[in-house]
Structure 1
Amino acid sequence: MDIPVNGHPLYAYTGGKPFDAAQPTVVFIPGVLNDHSVWILQSRHFAYHGWNVLAIDLPGQGRSQGTPPASVEEAAQTVLALLDAVGAPRAALVGHSFGSLIALEAAARAPERVSQLVLCGTAFPMKVSPALLDASVNAPEKAIHMVNVFSHSTLSPPPSALGPGTWLYGASRALMRRMLASNRAVNVFHTGFKACDDYAGGEKAMAAVQCPTLFVIGAHDQMTPPKSARALAKLARQPSVVEVNAGHALMTEAPGAVLDALRKFLSALR
């Protein structure tokens, strides 16, 4: 589904369901060089269980047009503009990695618009090593390899989000290459990483969030270590923490556990 946002079509996977104003809405926000597909199990479940689902591609990448957001704050405004565009007065926001910072900032900027907040694979500060920032510009294939090594705790857990035996490492590399190639004018790899590295408002944003917040943590996450997420959770008003047996790519390494955590959290507060 293409939704006009800030003058450009923003793609959102809806599970094939039309928007119903009588239903609650949940927005799924991906991380750097990821798209709506990383949420495929979770988003499809909610679409078929009484929710409006908007699993988005960030602007300027994947199936979305426009300019890639250069900051967490800019991306957060896009999410709020998306809610305006579809006529959703409130929504639950679910974000992963870069997407978790975007969801956090959006919830802080418009607390009355966000019913629940879920931060998956999050950390603050979300600093990126200078070597990885440099590689994202000068050696992107090397950087993609580095990210995937640190994002996965195992290569083919049964069952995976795409079926038993799926090579998660290879599938993730292919997705990242595709996302990088989707914008020839702007390096969305470097832009996204720099936005994460530059974001300084996490603690202030967490203090401004009014809704319950769920932290879904990968026990073996080397990109956003669990201790960083737990430190941020201490600043939340109504925090819940669920740890799953996965690395940073927790939606595909532990799809069932992530879905169970979302179902319990979102359904309890619906």
Structure 2
Amino acid sequence: MDVIVNGHKTFCYTGGKPFDPAKPTAVFIHGVLNDHSVWILQTRYLAHHGWNVLAIDLPGHGKSAGEPPATVEDAARFVIALLDAAQVGQAALVGHSFGSLIALEAAAQAPARVTHLALVGTAFPMKVSPALLEASLHQPLQAIDMVNTFSHSMLAPPPSMLGPGTWLYGGSRALMRRVLASNRRVNVFHAGFKACDSYTDGEAAMEKVRCPVLFVLGTGDQMTPPRAAQPLIDRARQSRVVRLAAGHQLMGEAPDGVLFALRDFLAG
């Protein structure tokens, strides 16, 4: 499904079901150098169980046009504009990593429009090492290999994700290379990392959030260790924390755990 946002086409994966404004809506926001496909299992389930899902490609990523967001705040304003363009009054926001900061900031900018906030693999501050920032700019393919080493705690996902024989490292690396190549004008890898590293308003944003907040954290996450989410957990008004045996790419390593956490949270 394509939605025109700020004059540009935004691709939204709907889980194989037509969008129905009468149903509750959940917007899924990916992390740095990812796209909508990282949410395949979770979005398909919700789409077949009473929800609209809009799993987006951020502007300038994958199948979406427009200028890639330079800051978390810019990306949050885009998400709110997407709700306007899709004529969605209120929605649940689900974000992973960089996407979790975007979802958090959008919920702070427009608290009355967000019914649930789910932060997967989150941290604040979400600092990026200078070496990785530099590599993402000047040696992005090498940086992709570095990120994949730190983002996974296992080689193959459970069968519920993509089936036997799937190689998590290889699939994730191929996705990141594809998203990087989708924008020849802007290095969206470096832009995303810089936006994460520069975001300073996470605690203040959480204090503005009115809705329940779910934290889904990986006990083996080296990119955003569970303890790094504590400043946000401490400031959330209504929080629920789920810890899963997984690394940073929880949707692939613990697909059922992420799905069940979201399903139960959104049912509340």
Q: Same fold (TM over 0.5)?
A: yes
Alignment match, 1:63: 63
**Residues 218 and 247 in structure 1, CA contact (< 8 A), matched pair in contact too:** yes
Counterparts of 1:69-218 in structure 2, within 5 Å, are 69-159=69-159, 161-218=161-218
**Residues 158 and 254 in structure 2, CA contact (< 8 A), matched pair in contact too:** no
Alignment match, 2:6: 6
Structure 2: distance between partners of 1:245 and 1:165: 20
SS of the residue 1:240 aligns to:
strand
SS of the residue 1:234 aligns to:
helix
How many residues align? The count is: 268
2:158 counterpart letter in structure 1? P
Identity %: 70
How far the C-alpha of 1:2 sits from its partner, in A, is: 0.8
How far the C-alpha of 1:165 sits from its partner, in A, is: 2.6
How far the C-alpha of 1:67 sits from its partner, in A, is: 0.4
Q: Deviations over 1:21-46 (max 9, x none)?
A: 22100000000000000000000111
Alignment match, 1:44: 44
1:150 counterpart letter in structure 2? F
**Residues 97 and 122 in structure 1, CA contact (< 8 A), matched pair in contact too:** yes
SS of the residue 2:215 aligns to:
strand
Q: Deviations over 1:173-217 (max 9, x none)?
A: 000000000000000000000000000010000000000000000
Structure 2: distance between partners of 1:230 and 1:77: 25
How far the C-alpha of 1:160 sits from its partner, in A, is: 5.4
Show structure 1 runs of 4+ deviating over 6 A.
none
**Residues 122 and 217 in structure 2, CA contact (< 8 A), matched pair in contact too:** yes
**Residues 100 and 122 in structure 2, CA contact (< 8 A), matched pair in contact too:** yes
**Residues 35 and 57 in structure 2, CA contact (< 8 A), matched pair in contact too:** yes
Comparing 160-169 and 81-90, the one that deviates more: 160-169
Structure 1: distance between partners of 2:12 and 2:64: 8
Structure 1: distance between partners of 2:89 and 2:101: 21
How far the C-alpha of 1:159 sits from its partner, in A, is: 2.4
RMSD (Å), alpha carbons: 0.8
SS of the residue 1:163 aligns to:
coil
Counterparts of 1:225-240 in structure 2, within 5 Å, are 225-240=225-240
Gaps of 5+ in 1: none
Report the TM-score, using the length of structure 1 for normalisation. Answer: 0.98
**Residues 158 and 255 in structure 2, CA contact (< 8 A), matched pair in contact too:** no
SS of the residue 1:50 aligns to:
coil
Report the TM-score, using the length of structure 2 for normalisation. Answer: 0.99
**Residues 157 and 252 in structure 2, CA contact (< 8 A), matched pair in contact too:** no
